[in-house]
Structure formats: C-alpha cells, structure tokens
Amino acid sequence: MLTNLKHVLKAGCLNFWRNKLLSFSTLAVMTLALLMVAGLLLLGVLSQSLVAALQGKVDVSVYFKPETNEKDVLSIKDIVEDLSPVAGVAYV
C-alpha cells in the first residue's frame, strides 16, 4: 500500500510539473500571437499616418526646354490643374 501511494504521489508530481510547463508554454505562445497582431495593427496605423503626412509635403517642379511653345506649356498646365490630387499649379 505504501508503494502504491508513493507511486501515485510521484506520478502526480511529475504530471503537475509537465502540465505547469505546458501551461507556461501555452501562455507564451498566446502572448506572442497577441503581440504580433498588435504590432501589425500598430504598423498599419503608423504607415497610414506617415502616408497622410507625406501627401501634404510633396512638391513637383516641371521644367520645359526654352524652345517649347507657350501654347503647349499652358495646355499641360491645364491638364495638371484638372488632376484631383493636385492642390495648386504655379506657372513662372
């Protein structure tokens, strides 16, 4: 009877230790998965805000050769002004 009790206690402690390690590893995997999801969400928000900030700072300069006709330059200016993302056009 003492042998059976000793065997049961030994097996119980061993299983408890194994389950403790399994519980810790499961918790670690779940934590890493949640951190990865949160990191991806944060990366998405940061990239959207970066793109929005950069859109307001984009300036494009166009240079024409001196022999270009004034009519062609004004035609291109009108085309560029009609584009939706263009905030303004200055012809110097």
Structure tokens belonging to residue 30: 């779940």
Burial of 89 per CB tally in 10 Å (0-12, 13-18, 19+):
middle
pLDDT at residue 52 in the model = 87
DSSP conformation class of 67 = T
State the pTM of this model: 0.50
Average pLDDT over residues 79-87: 81
- Tell me if 23 sits within 8 A of 31, measured CB to CB: no
**What are the pLDDT digits (tens) for 8-50?**
988 877 876 787 787 788 889 999 999 999 999 999 999 999 9
**What are the pLDDT digits (tens) for 42-58?**
999 999 999 988 887 88
